[in-house]
Structure 1
């Protein structure tokens, strides 16, 4: 397996390790690209924390895997939503428009996105229409055309409900990531479809997750089903019965890997 580390997707006056990505691949061929975006409550984790998962995904699917970093809200800086998601959008623009300067191991017109925990909210804020509250998250049409499917696990979608169910989360990470506004405007469960949004969605939730409750995934699943209407069965799936590991532990388990692989391979 080949691994390229610390590829800059943001070119500023100084190197920024939080705006770089790693690429894992086996062969030089035009395969779809998987992009795994890590969680960590908008405040922690690093792309290297998920190198084992990336290798496992390459082995299971044969597809190359990209794992980006993004800027974090530490509580002592001014990074706030939508900055984190804006970084991921910049990463997506980079990989879809700069494939000629990257190893030719993926087809930039076919991408699958995988988000975990807070990054589920980030990806939903990009791919659903958040332009009225976060216009900087509006993706170009090439990205909407390229994304074939989105897999979101243990996600945060309804922030109002989250802080109602887990009030300690306000001081732990919500305030640092969003400031002190009312949070309802940022709920992914209130966003509409973008015009070109025809990709497939898979919502995953483990029965063993004690950090994010199932209600979050149920609300997002219901919201997406309503958005897609009569085509919902073709576009929106949920798996909340098979997994029983903890919030982060699912990522190292064989069941999660199989669920993800089956969803992706269904399109191939």
Structure 2
């Protein structure tokens, strides 16, 4: 593959692997425009650092108004907490690299929140240098490779933060890709095919996130009341434990790869 750089001389590579996120520049160059693959899931979100003294340890504390959610989460492993902002919206036209524009969009979405702590969370989030904002989107592709170019991570299959599986998918996908390349002994076509065959089913399962978003961000006040009533039922805790056991049983062991002789 001949690669031309903006600030360096052109170079030649045996393979090119794109791991540059949901808005992958390499995917656009090698596979086509972003709108072919990126599916908007009707919401936007922002993350930022928050005061660790706020919120309950190992809990997500949420405040909802119709179509919006502000939350704070403490993992128990860090002194700091994370603030979450999610709002429902049709697809917006904005520059995903323009942080100042991102902050304006979040400010406009949550300026009218009646919950007093929300104002403090928002003010602190807007000053955080690690403030992050993007659409709740997913990447769906028929193939993650083309010739000697392949994609991995969010560039290939972003499931969105609502899936809770971004790190899992990225690590497992990278492991499979590297392992298959080693095992194929230089046959990249075989390696790419096996990588996709082995990883596709896990990606498909983790991209099924719709119920999660509806629970976190009910569209109406009635939906919020119904959600709150359901989560107070003792049955919900048992159902959650049962689901975790099912997931553990369904987990497939990863192959052990050996470099081809």
Q: TM-score range by the shorter chain?
A: under 0.3
The structure with more radius of gyration = 2
Relative CO higher for 1 or 2, CA cutoff 8 Å, sep ≥ 6? 2
